Amino acid sequence: NRLLGGLPAATFLRRHWQKQPLLVRGALPGFSGFLDLGDMIDLACSDHCESRLVVRGADRWAVEHGPFERKRFSRLPARNWTLLLQGLEQMLPAARQLLSRFDFIPYARLDDLMLSYAPAGGGVGAHFDSYDVFLLQGPGRRQWRVGRPRDLALVEDAPLKILKRFSPDGHCLLHAGDMLYLPPQFAHEGVAVDACYTYSIGFRAPSHRELVSQFLIFLEERLNGDGGGRYSDPDLSLQRHPAQLGERMIAKVERILRDISWTQRDVTEFLGGYLTEPKPHVVFAAPRKPLSEIAFSRASRRDGVELALASLMLYGKANLFINGEHYEMNKVLATPMRLLADTRRLAGNRIASNAPLTAMLYRWYRAGYICLSKS
Ligand code: SIN
Ligand code: CO
């Protein structure tokens, strides 16, 4: 596997993933990226792309969030700034294709593809991320300094995460096509040597706090769905002090709370929904003039279908998740749906004469979750 410098993916996972950085020279030889600064500015000025501009002043950092006015980019200094775009895979087929090279990591862990541009001297400072990241160098060169997790104290009152003290253990100069993998918490600082583009393939790892709070929300909706009971006390006996919170009331409530329970099935449904939930600014474009179900069925058998760029799809043994929605999996759906989720496309001959499949695909087509492949 050239992308991993000749390491088999399983070896990479064992030795490096979440453990050790890895520098790969020529991971994607001749990689020239797929956007230039002009394209990036177009995206930074649109509502559909999450963008940030980081400018380094004499003694402070400034961060601005998009969407930007075009004229903002004509007033930038010659050096020391960075433009960052998030979630490129939701907009560009080439970005999706690049991400697919990293499918030795489960999609459930994948976050997004970020692109940064910086003129010479630009960078976002010494920091650490809470996520695994592959930093793939596009055109231009960037000097990286990297340090083991040691002192994670951050500069106070800075608009972005900047390490108070950074003591690098090593450095490397990345050329186009080189790649640096960093596990979470490794300190790093990348400074553009020339005008340079860096593609970051980022992975997500929700905090326990996030998982717990989201699960509790999920659970609450589920309990509401059950109708639920209500506190009752037909056994209420006369209480001498009306302000006293009675032992019996506490015990009753404790019993109600103890009865909250969940199964692995609930956890699966929660996790699938949570991980495929679209990011806030994502909108799915439903077809303006949708085909009828019959016409769609015919066209899909001929051309096949593919997931819309922004769609997120996962599956479990008996479940199917797409963009936060949950469906039961069954025998008829299993093979084609898994193929669609794994490869993001489904050939026409896989759809032929499968009525339940066509019905579900049609529903997703109307929602803008999938589209017909261009033949
Ligand atoms: C960058 O591309 O400038 C920053 C990427 C990172 O440090 O995570
Ligand atoms: Co970083």
Mean pLDDT of 104-119: 98
At residue 299, the pLDDT reads 96
Q: Record the pTM.
A: 0.93
At residue 227, the pLDDT reads 57
Question: pLDDT digits over 163-205, tens only?
Answer: 999 999 999 999 999 999 999 999 999 999 999 999 999 999 9
Q: 3-class secondary structure for the chain?
A: CHHHCCCCHHHHHHHCCCCCCEEECCCCCCCCCCCCHHHHHHHHCCCCCEEEEEEECCCCEEEEECCCCHHHHHCCCCCCEEEEEECHHHCCHHHHHHHHCCCCCCHHHEEEEEEEEECCCCCCCCECCCCCEEEEECCCCEEEEEECCCCCCECCCCCCCCECCCCCCEEEEECCCCEEEECCCCEEEEEECCCEEEEEEEECCCCHHHHHHHHHHHHHHHHHHCCCCCCCCCCCCCCCCCCCCCHHHHHHHHHHHHCCCCCHHHHHHHHHHHHHCCCCCCCCCCCCCCCCHHHHHHHHHHHCEEECCCCCEEECCCEEEECCEEEECCHHHHHHHHHHHHHCEECHHHHCCCHHHHHHHHHHHHHCCEEECCC
Query: Residue 74's CB: how many other CB atoms inside 10 A?
Result: 8
Residue 190 CB–ligand 1 contact under 6 Å: yes
For residues 163 and 127, give the distance between their C-alpha atoms in angstroms, rounded to a whole number.
5
CA of 322 to the centre of ligand 1 (A): 30
Position in ligand 1 atom list of the atom nearest CA 135: 5
Residue 14 above 80 pLDDT? yes
CA of 248 to the centre of ligand 2 (A): 54
Non-local (6+) Cβ contacts of 244 within 8 A are: none
Average pLDDT taken over every residue of the chain: 95
Our mutation pick for probing the ligand 1 site, out of 161, 172, 199, 200, counting the most ligand atoms within 8 A of Cβ, is 200
Residue 116 CB–ligand 1 contact under 6 Å: yes
CA of 14 to the centre of ligand 1 (A): 25
At residue 211, the pLDDT reads 97
- Taking CA atoms only, the protein residue closest to ligand 1 atom 5 is 200
Position in ligand 1 atom list of the atom nearest CA 182: 8
Mean pLDDT of 299-304: 96
Question: pLDDT digits over 36-95, tens only?
Answer: 999 999 999 999 899 999 999 888 899 999 999 999 999 899 999 999 999 999 999 999
Position in ligand 1 atom list of the atom nearest CA 82: 3
For residues 173 and 192, give the distance between their C-alpha atoms in angstroms, rounded to a whole number.
10
At residue 248, the pLDDT reads 94
Non-local (6+) Cβ contacts of 302 within 8 A are: 348, 375
Give exposure, 254-278, as e/b (b: 16+ Cβ within 10 Å): eeeeeeeeeeeeeebbbbbbbbbeb
Task: Give the up-direction half-sphere exposure of residue 14: CA atoms within 13 A in the CB hemisphere.
Answer: 5
Cis peptide before 77 (omega within 30 of 0): no
Mean pLDDT of 22-49: 96
Residue 125 CB–ligand 1 contact under 6 Å: no
CA of 156 to the centre of ligand 2 (A): 18
Question: pLDDT digits over 208-252, tens only?
Answer: 999 999 999 999 888 766 556 889 999 999 999 999 999 999 999
Mean pLDDT of 250-255: 95
Report residue 353's pLDDT band, with 50, 70 and 90 as the boundaries: confident
At residue 351, the pLDDT reads 94
Residue 129 CB–ligand 1 contact under 6 Å: yes
Report residue 375's pLDDT band, with 50, 70 and 90 as the boundaries: low
Residue 86 CB–ligand 1 contact under 6 Å: no
Residues, CB within 5 angstroms of ligand 2 (ion): 129
